[in-house]
Amino acid sequence: AEPKLDGLAVELVYENGYFKYGSTRGDGISGEDITHNLKTIKAIPLSINSQTPPKLLEIRGEVFINHNDFKKLNKEQVKQNKNIFANPRNCAAGSLRQLNPNVAKSRPLRIFCYAPGQIDGFEFLTQKDFLDQIKKWGFPVNHNIKVGKGVSFLKEYYQSAESLRQSLDYDIDGVVFKINSYNLQ
């Protein structure tokens, strides 16, 4: 169970441990190449912290701007007599679609990684194993992800999402439940 972040879904592609390119999720088959802007996000490792990284690692994540950073950004916009941004999600998405990477670099973009794409040279049996390992490799993972069993767990997590939403420094638009076992998925 995890919060569903309200940001821009991206895919990061690593070959032999090095960040090669990244894109928006697009239509699920092809997205927009935004490698130059993703490289400006400090939380995205340019190389995997491992002596034996996978040959190919695709990681899906959500880029967002937290509330405090968004307020600071809009205050700076006002100081510079520029238009303020409507909301953090649109600001994050627009920042990643800029042609000039210095624009993205100037914005307080963050990311949480949450799902694998294609992987060659490393095997994961469960979602939890995947998340634990990518944390070790240096990828940011949301700390509000929980593992549980049964309908009561699902209901409790879902019901707690409203209070969770009020306490978070970033926007969510729901929750996501995943079966932990990749074989069962």
Q: Catalytic residue positions?
A: 4
Say which amino acid occupies 44.
Answer: I
Strands (E), 16-109: 18-24, 56-64
Which helix (H) or strand (E) segment holds residue 8: the answer is strand 8-15
Nearest partner of 88 among 112, 68, 114, judged by Cα: 68
Query: 154: which residues sit within 8 A by CB, 6+ positions away?
Result: 1, 148, 177
Q: How distant, in Å, are the alpha carbons of 86, 111, 140, 147, 185 from that of 17?
A: 37, 19, 16, 28, 26
